[in-house]
Structure 1
């Protein structure tokens, strides 16, 4: 058994469970910042669908280069790649679990295609709506590395808090400036958000046998291939792009994406897919609120949106309370 698999077999300590909470919240905030950066990059490249996909390819490509260098730099991590290959051949890790990167690619593509039009707040709302509704099902189906986590009233309540919160935020934004284009574009991050729960479960299973760096590398390789294939078609149809902008921070999307994917792969087994998803949702919604209120020239957040952010925190607390009791009962 590999070192990563041995570590995965031991139940997380109380300290690890507590330390995982701010880390999961931080992972969610990374998505909000990444959405802002990738949306701005897409706008500077021309604001078209081709520009949005180009921004996604640039972000995913930079993340791929970084994670490849980090993963291949040590013998232990290179051994993890071989261990993953062996686990796939033996059936310990199903082949479908290697495709989690496609969900990550769809999220980054949705950022480039929609954020400039619908804003970071509504983007985050749509993502979290999809994520919260699918996390409960993913845990119940046992897709994650921790096995099946059955449905329960507290877990359903926690997910309902997240859905209600994003519904309030979406309602405020759409009432303010409703259009069929805005509503239609919001479907893209909604679908991407639903895929994030599956991505976390699949990446967690890969991480359990090969470690989070190998899981992240696999995620970026698969996602990059999928993105380039879609980008190539879009570029043939419309290749009118503006020159690359000079602001260095617009190219940090890949670094933020790597941070989110690594943290998700490492932490999903600590509290399960639902709690991870809810913490990510809270971090993402609160991060988006800060971006809209502090950075955006035209903020789209009012009192309802702020209250919705607080409601996501309530959902996280309920889920953590239930998770803590379940852990004590198991012990």
Structure 2
């Protein structure tokens, strides 16, 4: 008589499977978020070019998202309860008010879209953001700014970050000679990318405190809109303001697209950490930006093999960074 040995699944094994499933789902949602970000870049860049006022285009994008969220607030008890929870946490000292400033990073990103995309194209803007976001993501994870707490610098995470930077360099190599006069504009997406990693960590903290991704998005859009409006008012002293408003209604949807990726990121960061969220988002951005520059290019420059090769390498980097390993004991 033969007996079959039963496989015993321990609570630890079950927990690891659950974390693995959450990580896989988080990566997929982050890629979708990245596609949305690339789309927003194209919309805001075109809007800024047609208005001849890049900062006002950013105000329209961020302000439009804020208006939509404020309109939804009376119909969402969860959003209102989330706001009360954040306010109570700040008042009682359980929640740092600094976590409510994630919108500053978002404002920098949207301003960068409006200023640089029409000159550099979506792909070049995206790879600039990638470089800043990757380096900042390593630091933010190590410092534990996100809701998942400190994330160890495992060899897979570090290798994924290094390969992502290599992908950026590869993508840029084909464009360095085509737009030398505008390359200084890459400084803005580099700074925006660095602040985005902080933004994702802070928004994740707000989501964890409030229990509502839309509350996190509302606080993000409120802070970002205030910063952009102030910056635009200052810019009026040096310029004449916007020209005629474009008639294409699609150009005004940047704020709606922004709500999608801000809300997704505030949820996903708890499952993936800031670095892996950033790398998966980057993969989505690169895929989306290449497709957009192929289908509806913002400038006449053509995409070369380096851009496609860099995008492929970035996807490999995300896969490596997603591998779970135990950190070395020091």
Shorter-chain TM-score above 0.5:
yes
For the residue of structure 2 that corresponds to 1:151, the secondary structure is: coil
Bigger helix fraction:
1
Give the drift of 1:239.
1.8
State yes or no: 1:18 paired with 2:20.
Answer: no
Task: Give the aligned partner of residue 44 of structure 1.
Answer: 50
Question: In the TM superposition, what whole-angstrom CA distance separates every residue of 1:14-58 from its partner, at most 9, and x where no partner exists?
Answer: 443322222100111111111111110111112xxxx00010000
1:89–1:301 CA distance, 2 compared to 1 (3 A): same
Task: Give the aligned partner of residue 5 of structure 1.
Answer: none
Please list, as runs of the form range in 1=range in 2, the aligned pairs for 1:252-267 lying within 5 A after superposition.
Answer: 252-267=253-268
| Worse-superposed segment, 71-80 or 28-37 | 71-80
Please list, as runs of the form range in 1=range in 2, the aligned pairs for 1:76-95 lying within 5 A after superposition.
Answer: 76-95=78-97
Task: Give the aligned partner of residue 55 of structure 1.
Answer: 57
Task: Give the aligned partner of residue 269 of structure 1.
Answer: 270
Task: Give the aligned partner of residue 135 of structure 1.
Answer: 137
1:154–1:17 CA distance, 2 compared to 1 (3 A): closer
Identify the match of residue 27 of structure 1 among 17, 24, 33.
Answer: 33
Task: Give the aligned partner of residue 207 of structure 1.
Answer: 207
Give the drift of 1:326.
5.1
Structure 2 gaps, min length 5: 1-14
Q: How far apart are the structure 1 equivalents of 2:72 and 2:292?
A: 30
Task: Give the aligned partner of residue 164 of structure 1.
Answer: 166
Give the drift of 1:88.
1.4
Task: Give the aligned partner of residue 282 of structure 1.
Answer: 283
> If the length of structure 2 is used for normalisation, what is the TM-score?
0.90
Q: How far apart are the structure 1 equivalents of 2:262 and 2:146?
A: 15
Give the drift of 1:295.
1.8
Structure 1 gaps, min length 5: 1-9
Q: How far apart are the structure 2 equivalents of 1:278 and 1:33?
A: 18
Please list, as runs of the form range in 1=range in 2, the aligned pairs for 1:182-221 lying within 5 A after superposition.
Answer: 182-210=182-210, 211-221=212-222
| Worse-superposed segment, 290-299 or 24-33 | 290-299
Contact 2:27 2:272 in 1 (8 A): no
CA RMSD of aligned residues (A): 1.8
Contact 2:294 2:303 in 1 (8 A): yes
Q: How far apart are the structure 2 equivalents of 1:14 and 1:318?
A: 14
Task: Give the aligned partner of residue 97 of structure 1.
Answer: 99
